[in-house]
Amino acid sequence: MKRHEESEKIEVTCPFCGKKRLTSKKAYVKRGGKLSDQVYSSPDRSCAQKQKLLSAEHKNKISESLKGYSQTEFHVQHKSEYMQSHPEAWQNNITIKGDVLSEEHKRKISETQRKKSQ
């Protein structure tokens, strides 16, 4: 059997969000799934993380580990160059990731923000 040989895929549904995805039978069984099931169910990794409850001690450890993080000079310079060459990404405090917002949508966001600040 070849190392990168395609294995048979099955459709798996996340029990938390209902999202469907394809996974290999081998990976499904390895994570504890049973192929005798009629509907294959396995949580997405992001949903599995959202369902975890963290203790106060654990949250404090995470908080402490993230404090004092400083970016390298290279990273700061790279961000600066990007912002200078892409002013649309930071003007009006609206970050563009994917779709460009219409003027109407921007107006609605603005109205909502004004209502929240009153």
pLDDT for 46-96, tens place per residue? 776 676 778 899 989 988 888 887 889 999 999 889 888 877 766 666 555
**Dist. CA 115–CA 46, nearest whole Å:** 32
Which two tokens mark 114? 């004004």
CB 63 within 8 A of CB 73: no
What is the pLDDT, as a whole number, of residue 77?
93
Domain ranges of the chain: 9-50
Question: What is the pTM (predicted TM-score) of this model?
Answer: 0.34
Residue 1 has pLDDT above 50, yes or no: no
Query: Per-residue pLDDT tens for 8-18?
Result: 888 888 777 77
Query: Per-residue pLDDT tens for 103-117?
Result: 999 999 999 888 887
Count CB atoms within 10 A of the CB of residue 25. Answer: 14
**Dist. CA 34–CA 25, nearest whole Å:** 10
What is the pLDDT, as a whole number, of residue 107?
92
With a CB cutoff of 8 Å and minimum separation 6, the contacts of 99 are none
Using DSSP, state whether 38 is helix, strand or coil. coil
What is the pLDDT, as a whole number, of residue 5?
58
Percent helix / strand / coil, the chain, rounded to 5:
50, 10, 40
Query: Per-residue pLDDT tens for 18-58?
Result: 788 887 777 777 777 777 666 677 777 677 667 677 889 99
Q: What is the DSSP letter of 51?
A: T
